[in-house]
Each structure stands twice: as structure tokens, then as C-alpha cells.
Amino acid sequence: MIGLGIAITLFSPLVAWAISPTHIACQLKKPKGISALEGCARGTIYVSQTDREAKFTSVQAAVESLYVFPLHLSPIIEGVWGRPERGDATILIGEGEYFEIVNVTRSGPLTFLGQLDLDHLDSTISPTRNLVQIWNNIFVTEPPPAEDDAQTAVLIVAPSFNASLIGSGTNGAPLQPLFGNTDFKAYNIDFSNRAANFSISQALVTDISYANASFYGCTFASYQDTWYTGRNASTYVIDSVIFGQTDWFLKLAVVRWFENVVMANRACGGGLVAWKGTDLITAPGNRYGGYVSNSKIMRSPDANATTVTDGQCFLGRPWNDLATTIYLNTFMDDSIAPIGFIPFDSARPVIMNTTFYAEFHSTGPGGNVTGRTPIEHILTAQQAKEFTLEKVFGGIPNWIDFEYIDG
């Protein structure tokens, strides 16, 4: 058993590949004649559209098989007592493109493994760098509340429909009493919303609400609102690529940490991070916010050259006045505006001092903090020590796989 994880960076310094020592044997694409499930933990469920060994051809069918009763036969009222579930589960997803919405409502730990071919690791900044792609093309066609942005997500991890909603205004949808998945993990999978090749409206990739979830070596691609971490949720993303254009990191409540990711600007709109914070009375001592650490922000290779002009992309804008967004040790190319953060819109033209916008040791042409908005905090090394993973999550989360990232 390998004690430490290995992080392999091949060919290009741009996108890290990291392999899970725990799961690699299962994830490897097997030669003909060898079961795809060779090397997998007992009980692993296999999904493939082409391999007849697979029990399911869609990821969602595999997820639904984890309930004791099929969803439509469930005698329990959803969202009230929950539905009886089978225990911890792992789903191996075979190479291929899956056109579907994946909706994880269960609370038991669930791991998605994307099949891997170590001879063909793609290190380019591409929305299809993995062998497995899960995608959809839904986008918002009517303004909320007629339609909630959440209804466009490709991957939903939330205990109920109401818990998945974003809502509008500075406070969003009403607080829900449930907590959903306590430990959702995905390895080496591309998730994308392909509604268009440009920003048409909100078209989410993830909606993680009232859940704890982590992602390893994945990509998330859309234009507007790519990533959404909702209320009561904590998310952790490492060695991944996120593509977007407008407000492409959104969130409502708890903590979202991105480590060694590439944030690829497909165009500039709103801010990279549009955040709603939570006050200290509702959540005393909270460090809720968006944290981007040891990462790179750059023009996407597929960006429209006329829309990503130099210095036109902003680091964030405050969806409410309690927004917290912090960039640590992050490279920023010249697509980033010297001012950094901007007010939300003309109706709220001032960034209030109740927000907390900060940077520590930004590098690259967009990382020159001389011209940043005065409300921003440029942290000293001593101050930056307050923003470690352990401190912002209030302890080292037991739902993060650290074997993967060591080394």
C-alpha cells in the first residue's frame, strides 16, 4: 500500500494530474478480457455505455440504485424523513460521454471514479481532458423566480429540490432543515454545460448545497455561473480546471477551497467570484467564503479574443455585503484588471467594508496589486497564516482525500 499520494505533472506545467493511490487500480482502463472491475473495492458499481459488463448505462441510474426502494416506489416522503439508502458506495464510470443530469440526494458517502488511461493523460487546458464526460445543455430562459438557476446544473448534490435552489436577491432561497451528502467525491471526470459557445444566460455545472464534496483532477466548463456552492455546503477542488465567463464562482454560505486549479477565462463578465456571505450572528466566527490557493487564473485557450482583452476580467464582485473572497499564492495573467474587485452593479455602487476581499502573494502580470481597490486587503505573510485550510474549515475536514494531494 502506498502511504503517500503522488501528484504527476506531465508535459505541460499548466494542469496537474494527480492520481489516487487508493483508486488507481480500479480506475485503470483494462485490456480486453480483463474485467473493468478488477482492482475495485467490493461492491463497486460499474457504468458504461459500451461495455456489456456494466450494470448501468447512465450514472443517474447507478445513483438511484443506491436506494433500498426505487425512487418511484419509495414509500417515504422525500425531504421529510429521507429515503432508506444502502451504505457507502463507489461508482466506476467507464470512458465515454454521458448526456444527463446527475442528482445526488443521498446522505451516505459516495465516490465517482472516472476511468483512466495513464498512457494518454491530457495535460492541456481542455474541457475534455478526461476519458469521462458528463454534460448537459440546459440554461436559464426565464428570470427567477419563474426559473431557478439551480435547475440548469449538470451535477446536483443536495438533499432535496428545495435545498438545491439558489433563489434571488441578496439572501437567496429559504434555509432548509436538511443536510445531504456528508462525503461526495469525484475523481478524473469532466463536467460541462454545453448550452452554447458563449454566455447566453446562467448555465450551471455544479450545485452543491447542504453537502460536503471534494473533486480531484476534474474539469468544470460553462460560461455563466459555472460553479455553485450553496447553503451549508463545503467544497474542496484540487488539480482541476474551471472554465467560465460571468460570475463563474457563486456561493451562498460555507466554505469553498480551490487548490492548484486553473481558472480559465473564456470572456470577462461580472466578476470571477460573486459571493454571498453569512453574517457573524447567524454563524459566529465563520470563515465562510471562497478561497483560491496556489492556482492560476488565465485566458482560456478557447476564449473569444475580442471579449478577453487585457485587464478586463475582475477578481470578484459582492453579491451581498458580507462577501469573502481570498486569493493566496495565485498567478494571474494580463486578463485580470489592475483594480481587482468591483462593486456588484450600479444599484450598489460601493464595495462595503463588511466584505472581505484579500490577496496574498499574487504573481504574474495581473497580480500587480499596486492599483487594487483600496477596500481590498493585501495580506502580510503573518495575516495570510490565518487562512489555512485547517483554519477556514474549522479543523481538517475528514471528507477530503489528502493521500491524493500529497507529494
Ligand X SMILES: *[C@@H]1O[C@H](CO)[C@@H](O)[C@H](O)[C@H]1NC(C)=O
Taking CA atoms, 343 is separated from 157, 253, 256, 347, 367, in Å, by 30, 20, 21, 9, 19
What's the rounded Cα separation, in Å, for the pair 371 and 340?
A: 8
Question: What is the pattern of x (binds ligand X, CB under 6 A) and - over residues 102-141?
Answer: -x-x------------------------------------
Residue 396, burial from CB neighbour count under 10 angstroms (0-12, 13-18, 19+): exposed
Question: What is the pattern of x (binds ligand X, CB under 6 A) and - over residues 274-313?
Answer: ---------x--------------------x-xx------
**Closest by alpha carbon to 402, among 178, 238, 291?**
238
Of the two residues 371 and 407, which places its CB atom closer to ligand X in the complex?
Answer: 371
Of the two residues 40 and 337, which places its CB atom closer to ligand X in the complex?
Answer: 337
What's the rounded Cα separation, in Å, for the pair 350 and 361?
A: 25
Q: Contact between 402 and ligand X (CB under 6 A)?
A: no
Q: Contact between 179 and ligand X (CB under 6 A)?
A: yes
Of the two residues 151 and 240, which places its CB atom closer to ligand X in the complex?
Answer: 151
Q: Contact between 175 and ligand X (CB under 6 A)?
A: yes
What's the rounded Cα separation, in Å, for the pair 90 and 155?
A: 16
Residue with cell 481570498: 326
Q: Contact between 353 and ligand X (CB under 6 A)?
A: yes
Q: Contact between 234 and ligand X (CB under 6 A)?
A: yes
* Closest distance to ligand X from the beta carbon of 44 (Å): 23
What's the rounded Cα separation, in Å, for the pair 323 and 316?
A: 9
What's the rounded Cα separation, in Å, for the pair 192 and 202?
A: 13
Contact window for ligand X (CB under 6 A) among 219-227, 242-250, 375-383, 389-397: 389-397
Question: What is the pattern of x (binds ligand X, CB under 6 A) and - over residues 320-339?
Answer: ------------------x-
For 406, the 3-state DSSP assignment is coil
Contact window for ligand X (CB under 6 A) among 39-47, 172-180, 213-221, 356-364: 172-180
Sheet holding 227-229, edge to edge: 102-104, 155-157, 206-208, 227-229, 249-251, 273-275, 316-318
Asked if 49 and 57 touch (Cβ cutoff 8 Å), the reply is yes
* Closest distance to ligand X from the beta carbon of 268 (Å): 11
Asked if 340 and 372 touch (Cβ cutoff 8 Å), the reply is yes
Among 22, 192, 212, 224, binds ligand X (CB under 6 A): 212
Contact window for ligand X (CB under 6 A) among 6-14, 29-37, 156-164, 215-223: 156-164
Contact window for ligand X (CB under 6 A) among 7-15, 100-108, 119-127, 316-324: 100-108
For 363, the 3-state DSSP assignment is strand
* Closest distance to ligand X from the beta carbon of 239 (Å): 20
Contact window for ligand X (CB under 6 A) among 24-32, 39-47, 175-183, 257-265: 175-183
Residue 193: beta bridge partners?
136
Interface with ligand X (CB under 6 A): 71, 78-79, 101, 103, 105, 156, 160-162, 175-177, 179, 182, 194, 196-197, 212, 232, 234, 253-254, 283, 304, 306-307, 338, 353, 368, 370-371, 393-394, 397
